[in-house]
Amino acid sequence: MKINIKIDTVLNAFHTDAHDYFNLTNSLLETCKKFEDPSVSLDDDIKVFFPIRPMLAGKKKINYFQDSSKMYYVETKYDGERLQAHKKGTEVKLFSRNAVDYSKIY
């Protein structure tokens, strides 16, 4: 028997915030770990070296914004690959939009 169940349905049944967190992190394992306890709620905690799934960008020039003590830079993709750069001290990791680690390639 064939059953059509979307991941949205499964995640919403698992926890009310699970679908939103999965869309942010693109990691089913991390989503299940985070919401193992039903009393936990979504906090938009973005960590270094943990890729996020960004929204697709339109044509924009380079912009930056600052939130408390953190500075963020946003650059338009013209050709090639779009990567997220995570830096902590001298360690740098590069991730694709789908959370593939490209650090060793570049």
Active site residues: 77
For strands 84-88 and 70-74, give the pairing: unpaired
Let me know: does 19 contact 12? Beta carbons within 8 Å: yes
In which element (H, E) is residue 9 found? helix 7-14
What's the CA gap between 66 and 68, in Å, rounded?
6
Computed on alpha carbons and rounded to an integer, the radius of gyration of the chain in Å comes to 17
Structure tokens at 81: 């690959």
